[in-house]
Chain A
Amino acid sequence: MAELVGAFAASHAPLIARDWHLLSPTRQQEITTAYRELGRRLAAVRPDVIIELSPDHWTNFFLNNLPSVCIGVGDTHEGPAEPFMKDFPYKPLLGHTPLAQHLVKSALAQDFEPSISHRLTLDHGFCIPLWRMELKQLPAIVPIVINDLEPPMLSIRRCLAWGKFLARAIALFPERNLRVAILATGGLSHSIGEPNMGAIDEDFDRACIDAFKAGAEGPLVELLEARMEAAGNGTHEVRNWVIAHAAAGSRGFDLIDYRAVPEVYVGCGYASWRV
């Protein structure tokens, strides 16, 4: 059977790549230190596969076909496509078709209805954390696109259900000794293309972190349902963290770093769950 060996989260602000040269040396060091620690922790659990949760920033999907959840079942993924990601070092991006197909089949058998893609292009949302963690060797990636960009979106309770489903499905995957990690990307608070673009709601972010640390699902759901919408449209990406949280058993996480980074418009957080 496969084993869930770790669950992690990281922000993925595109300006970390696009405007890296504009950041102060101190800011660069802060961001680098956080991603490296995340990478150190991820490498320490020796994953064979990373199930990565991220939104699609209008790269694969458009209004004529906009899945709430899409699982990438290909043995290879394209990307990243953005010009500012041209130095992304891990190409080709390999998938893990047997595990991905197992997730799809298990989902349908348990009343979840993901769409599938045999050839996803992974954008900065997937690739910035993979890049900045500086892993010596990138494990296979099973990408799961969560619609965090265009309403309507998954409810927070449904995200919890997805997380629990993923944990069950991983445990039932028949390949022996396959080590699987989950990486949720995006968040915390940010606002893009809205009148308050650039605003970071540190108070919300701190409350959110406290709720994840504490573990209990009820208060987390209450907090997010009450305040996530007002914390900026990019904050919807916290859904991915919720899925990872539930997959890890909702036992709380260790915060690696959090700081508001106005230069990249994002409250940047990094965490690893207690699995």
Chain B
Amino acid sequence: MTDYWLSKLFFDLQAPGAGADYRADRSKVLARYPLAPEVRAAILADDVSFLAQRVNPYLLRYYFGAAGMSDEVFRRKLREGASEVKHG
């Protein structure tokens, strides 16, 4: 299930300076997008596995890198999320 506005947010953050603006004030940037409340909450909680089900994996990877998450932590969260889904 693709979430268009979540994807758009991640896509837009690739623009020069956009990542820095986002890291400085997440809420201000998020307010520009009509995100569902649970999606917005997942963004603020860095809920990788929730967001992974709603966006292209390349955009997901780009976003968490731009948000400052290391690849090591990102990969661990992806694995943990998949394991939770698998085991219910």
* Interface, chain A (partner B; CB < 8 A): 57-59, 62-63, 81, 149-150, 192-198, 233
Contacts and interface: CB of A to CB of B under 8 A. Distances in A.
What is the interface residue range for chain B against chain A? 20 to 34
Interface of B: 2, 4, 7-8, 11, 14, 52, 56-62, 74-75, 78-79, 81-82
A195 B62 contact: no
B78 A149 contact: no
Give the dominant DSSP class at B's interface: helix
Give the dominant DSSP class at A's interface: loop
A126 B17 CA distance: 23
B32 to A, nearest CB: 16
Contacts of A62: 7-8, 11
A195 B14 contact: no
Contacts of A233: 57-58
B6 to A, nearest CB: 10
A192 B58 contact: yes
A196 B81 CA distance: 11
A233 to B, nearest CB: 6
15 contacts: A58-B11, A58-B62, A62-B7, A63-B7, A63-B11, A149-B58, A192-B61, A193-B56, A193-B59, A194-B57, A195-B81, A196-B79, A197-B57, A197-B75, A233-B58
